[in-house]
Structures are given as structure tokens and as C-alpha cells.
């Protein structure tokens, strides 16, 4: 049962000290940060024991992620028996009733009710809620995008290092990949208004933020529900560059398309970094995954990006040991990936998500765990080889660096480097040109004055 909570009251909710723990993807982390800021007008708690509200923004993309979320809930409750413990995110959406039955949990807040959390906490404190799982009658109008303005400040968008800002501009997914439950949790594809995104990026840049990362559940679909495209947004920024650089998070490759790849490769605003998830290089496996990817089209897109800008960091995701993957199909993937100009690979062993087709196939004919482990290890070794080669090509070149904390920096083409710069150039958030030098095999590059 879901309790409806009105959000029409005019009284300003009490600010509470929040300890927030996000699990999962960039979108989950962005949502959690915005939610914690909305609830906590006070400085955030630095430890669970100092908090008035414990916020677990959980992931449900795999069964393991859900188990990790439940373990986290139990640990936080042990560390602070007095705080109000709230579970939100995809974990709350996936099985909210079951999560609410955990004795450690006070509230489960559905994704659509996120903006009402301050009022929900007020109602809970007043004893006005009859159930732990909470939605809101204004859910259809609940804001999905943490754009600055009104009661949202720029501060809510900036990461703890105060160096980069993360801006969610899209939510939901219409794809139906055989291994994924995200579409059933996040719902239909929705986009922020293009003009709101442009305004947010400009305001962040004017406030001194050196880099803004654009994220979405299905970022390549940005604007489709509003009659526009992601490339239109980037072209507008290109025509009138903001004071910050812009980075794109993961993009579905076939929907990204040639015009977007071309723009990123030569852009003055968008950094040369593309994350195009592949998952497999085998046509047969991709077809069973329902990825909608044709390997040769992906190959052409990757080659086009590298040809247009050899500095571009091309990254991808791979699943090793998908149900039914034969030795020959794995070898197709290995060869395909070896031949492409990847700079980094994110390799995951197949992990079944309950109630998906892939999970049913896995349980019917599971691959031996040693096979999955060996394939994962082989692809990760290949990824390390690709990363070393990319770093070697970057050594001796000049790159634009954003200084991070801990004497680290992030290049425009997504290499984390050790700063060997004067103190005034190593201040977190500083954006400057530096020369990259290798110090040893497998070691991060060093950034030196030009």
C-alpha cells in the first residue's frame, strides 16, 4: 500500500542534517546529491552517527546491487539507531514493499515522490503516515531534473571536490535489453528543456566550475520527447561557448550517430571522450541481448571518431559470459575489441537480474563460473593493454587539465594524472594546459608545466 502525501503546504520544512550514500550509476549519484541537498539545509553529516536522516539511494540493476543495498541499510542502522532511515532510488522502485518490511527502514520513497521528501519527513515526524512506502498525488508533476533555480542552488550540483558539476538532463529508457530492468524502474524517456540545460551549464561555468558532466539514463535519447536532439544542444553550446568545458556520460552508440561523434571529435566545448557501451562484439550475442547494435556499424563509428581526432578517448562496456555465449562468440568479441581503438574497457562478468529474460536463460543453462571468470580476466587484461597504449601515446603531448584534490588532475581526454605543478596551479578546480610525461609502465602520467 502506498500512502499519498500532499505537498501543497506553504510552511517551509525543517532542514535536517543528512548522511547520504548513493549506490550505482552517475544518475543515481546525481539524484542522491540533489535529494540530500533538498532535505538538508544544514551542512551534510560527515559520518552516519552525526545524521538526523540516513539516505540510501540504492541501485537495483543486478541482484547483487540489491543485496549490497540491504547490507548497507543494516550497517547504517547499527551505526545510528536514532536517525530516520530513508531508502530511495531504483532500489525503492524495484521492491519497495519488501524493503519497507526491513526493521531498519523508516521510509521508502518512490522515484516520483523525490521532490516531496522534505514534506514526507515532516509528516513522518508528526506521525501522520500510516505506511512506510510513500508516493505523492503530485507525482506526475514531480521534478526529475536538478536544474538550478528556485529552491535549487548551484551548490547542489557540484561534486564534493568542488571541481566538477554533474547535471542530469534525461531520465527513463524505452529500450528492452534482455539483461536490464532499468526501463521498468525509470519509466518513459523524459528530457529537461534544452534552454534550461543551456542556462544551467552557463551558470555553472560563470560560477567557476571548470567542467560539467551531462548524464542521463539514456542520454542519447535526450530531447526525443521534446522534438529535439542531444546534438542540437551541443551545437548551441558550440555557437556560444560557456566558461566551462562539457563532458558526456555514457551514450547508446547506434543512437549517438555520426553527426554527434563528429561534433565531439572537433568541439571547442565538449571534451574528446566518448563512452559507447558495446557489451559484446558478437552479432549473435548482441541479437540475443536485444542491444540493437550491428558490430560493423559500431566499428565504422569508432573508426570515424578515432580518424577525426586521434586524441579522443573511446571507452566501452563489456559483459563477459552472457548466457549461451560460446567459445567462438567470445573469440569474436575479443578480436573485435582488440582491433578497435579503445582507450579503456569496463568489463563485467554476467550477473543475472531476477525477472529478466537473460536471468531465465542463465538459470536454464548456466555457463560454468570458471568460464565466466576466465573470460572476464582475459577482457580485463586486454583493457589494461589498451589503456597502457593510450597513455603511451599521450606521453609527451599537451592536454587541458582540471585540478582535483589530492594532487591529482583530469585531462580533457579522461586520463587521471599526478600533478607536478606549482602550488598556485594545483588548486582544485583550476583549469590549465600541462605537458604529460610517463614515469613507468602501468603508472599514471604526470602533468608538468608547459
Ranges of CATH 3.80.30.20 domains, the chain: 154-388
Give the pLDDT of residue 266: 94
Give the pLDDT of residue 73: 95
Ranges of CATH 3.40.50.12160 domains, the chain: 3-141
Question: 168, 215 in Cβ contact below 8 A?
Answer: yes
Distance CA 384, CA 369 (A): 22
Average pLDDT in the chain:
88
Give the pLDDT of residue 4: 46
Query: pLDDT class for 61, splitting at 50, 70, 90?
Result: confident
Distance CA 422, CA 415 (A): 20
Q: Among the listed ranges 181-185, 330-334, 357-361, 371-375, which one has the minimum average pLDDT value? A: 181-185
The fraction of the chain above a pLDDT of 90, given in percent, is 64
pLDDT in tens, 8-44: 444 556 778 899 888 888 888 888 887 887 787 656 7
Give the pLDDT of residue 142: 44
Give the pLDDT of residue 8: 47
Characterise 162 by phi-psi region: left (phi > 0), alpha (psi -120 to 50), beta (else): left
The CATH fold of domain 3-141? Rossmann fold (3.40.50)
Q: Considering only CA atoms, which of 277, 449, 286 is closest in space to residue 347?
A: 277
Q: Considering only CA atoms, which of 210, 251, 134 is closest in space to residue 403?
A: 210
Q: Which residue has the cell 500512502?
A: 3
Distances (CA, A) of 191 to 61, 201, 235, 246, 286: 21, 15, 17, 18, 27
Give the pLDDT of residue 82: 95
Calculate helix-pair angle for 194-206, 230-239, nearest 10 degrees: 40
Question: 342, 334 in Cβ contact below 8 A?
Answer: no
3-state secondary structure the chain: CCEECCCCCCCCCCCCCEEEEECCCHHHHHHHHHHHHHHCCCCCCCCHHHCCEEEEEECCCCHHHHHHHHHHHHHHHHHCCCCEEEEEEHHHHHHHHHHHCCCCCCEEECHHHHHHHHHHHHHHHCCCCCCCEEECCCHHHCCCCCCCECCECHHHHECCCCCEEEEEEEECCCCCCCCCCHHHHHCCCEECCHHHHHHHHHHHHHCCCCEEEEEECCHHHCCHHHCCCHHHHHHHHHHCCCCCEEEECCCCHHHHHHHHHHHHHHCCCECCEEECCCECCCHHHHHHHCCCCCHHHHHHHHHHHHHHCCCCEEEEEEEECCCCCCHHHHHHHHHHHHHCCCCEEEEEECCCCCCCHHHHHHHHCCCCHHHHHHHHHHHHHHHHHHHHHHHHHHCCCEEEEEECCCCEEEECCCCEEEECCCHHHCCCCCEEEEEEECCCCCCCCEEECC
169-192 mean pLDDT: 86
Give the pLDDT of residue 7: 45
Give the pLDDT of residue 157: 63
Give the number of other Cβ atoms within 10 Å of residue 206's Cβ. 12
287-308 mean pLDDT: 94
Give the pLDDT of residue 1: 40
CATH number belonging to domain 154-388:
3.80.30.20
Is residue 74 over pLDDT 50? yes
Distance CA 168, CA 217 (A): 9
pLDDT in tens, 129-178: 888 888 765 444 344 565 655 445 566 566 655 578 889 999 888 888 99
| Between 257 and 396, residue with greater pLDDT | 396
pLDDT in tens, 88-121: 988 888 888 899 999 999 999 987 777 788 888 8
Residue/partner pairs of 187-191 with CB below 8 Å, 24 or more apart? 188/225, 189/218, 189/221, 189/224, 189/225, 190/144, 190/225, 191/216, 191/221, 191/222, 191/223, 191/224, 191/225, 191/226
Q: Among the listed ranges 10-14, 56-60, 256-260, 276-280, which one has the minimum average pLDDT value? A: 10-14
Centroid of chain to Cα 410: 17
Burial class (CB in 10 A: 0-12, 13-18, 19+), 310: exposed
Amino acid at each position: 500500500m502506498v500512502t499519498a502525501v500532499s505537498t501543497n503546504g506553504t510552511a517551509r520544512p525543517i532542514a535536517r542534517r543528512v548522511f547520504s550514500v548513493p549506490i550505482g550509476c552517475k544518475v543515481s549519484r546525481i539524484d542522491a546529491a540533489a535529494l540530500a541537498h533538498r532535505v538538508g539545509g544544514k551542512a551534510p553529516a560527515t559520518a552516519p552517527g552525526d545524521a538526523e536522516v540516513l539516505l540510501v539511494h540504492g541501485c537495483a540493476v543486478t541482484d547483487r546491487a540489491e543485496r549490497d543495498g540491504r547490507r548497507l541499510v543494516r550497517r547504517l542502522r547499527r551505526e545510528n539507531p536514532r536517525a530516520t532511515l530513508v531508502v530511495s532510488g531504483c532500489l525503492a522502485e524495484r521492491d519497495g514493499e519488501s524493503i519497507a518490511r526491513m526493521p531498519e527502514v523508516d521510509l521508502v520513497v518512490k522515484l516520483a515522490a523525490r521532490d516531496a521528501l522534505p514534506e514526507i519527513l515532516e509528516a513522518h515526524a508528526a506521525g501522520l503516515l500510516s505506511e512506510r512506502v510513500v508516493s505523492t498525488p503530485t507525482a506526475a508533476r514531480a521534478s526529475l531534473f536538478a536544474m538550478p533555480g528556485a529552491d535549487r542552488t548551484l551548490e547542489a550540483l557540484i561534486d564534493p571536490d568542488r571541481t566538477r558539476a554533474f547535471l542530469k538532463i534525461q531520465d527513463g529508457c524505452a529500450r528492452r535489453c534482455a539483461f536490464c530492468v532499468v526501463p521498468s524502474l525509470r519509466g518513459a524517456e523524459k528530457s529537461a528543456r534544452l534552454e534550461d540545460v543551456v542556462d544551467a551549464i552557463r551558470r555553472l561555468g560563470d560560477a567557476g566550475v571548470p567542467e560539467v558532466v551531462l548524464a542521463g539514463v539514456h542520454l542519447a535519447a535526450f530531447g526525443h520527447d521534446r522534438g529535439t536532439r542531444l546534438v542540437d544542444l551541443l551545437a548551441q553550446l558550440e555557437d556560444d561557448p560557456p566558461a566551462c568545458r562539457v563532458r558526456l556520460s555514457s551514450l547508446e552508440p547506434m543512437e549517438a550517430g555520426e553527426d554527434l561523434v563528429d561534433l565531439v571529435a572537433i568541439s571547442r566545448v565538449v571534451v574528446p571522450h566518448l563512452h559507447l557501451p558495446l557489451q559484446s562484439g558478437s552479432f549473435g550475442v548482441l541479437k540475443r541481448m536485444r542491444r540493437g547494435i550491428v558490430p560493423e556499424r559500431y566499428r565504422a563509428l569508432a573508426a570515424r571518431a578515432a580518424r577525426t581526432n586521434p586524441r579522443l578517448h573511446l571507452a566501452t562496456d563489456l559483459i563477459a559470459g552472457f548466457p549461451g555465449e560460446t567459445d567462438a562468440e567470445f573469440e569474436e568479441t575479443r578480436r573485435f575489441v582488440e582491433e578497435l581503438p579503445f582507450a579503456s574497457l569496463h568489463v563485467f562478468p554476467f550477473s543475472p537480474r531476477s525477472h529478466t529474460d537473460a536471468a531465465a536463460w542463465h538459470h536454464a543453462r548456466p555457463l560454468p563460473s570458471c568460464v565466466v571468470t576466465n573470460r572476464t580476466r582475459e577482457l580485463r587484461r586486454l583493457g589494461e593493454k589498451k589503456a597502457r597504449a593510450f597513455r603511451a601515446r599521450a606521453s609527451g603531448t599537451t592536454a587541458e587539465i582540471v585540478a582535483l584534490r589530492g594532487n591529482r588532475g583530469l585531462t580533457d581526454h579522461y586520463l587521471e594524472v599526478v600533478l607536478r605543478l606549482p602550488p598556485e596551479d594545483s588548486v582544485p578546480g583550476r583549469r590549465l594546459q600541462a605537458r604529460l610525461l610517463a614515469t613507468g609502465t602501468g603508472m599514471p602520467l604526470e602533468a608538468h608545466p608547459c
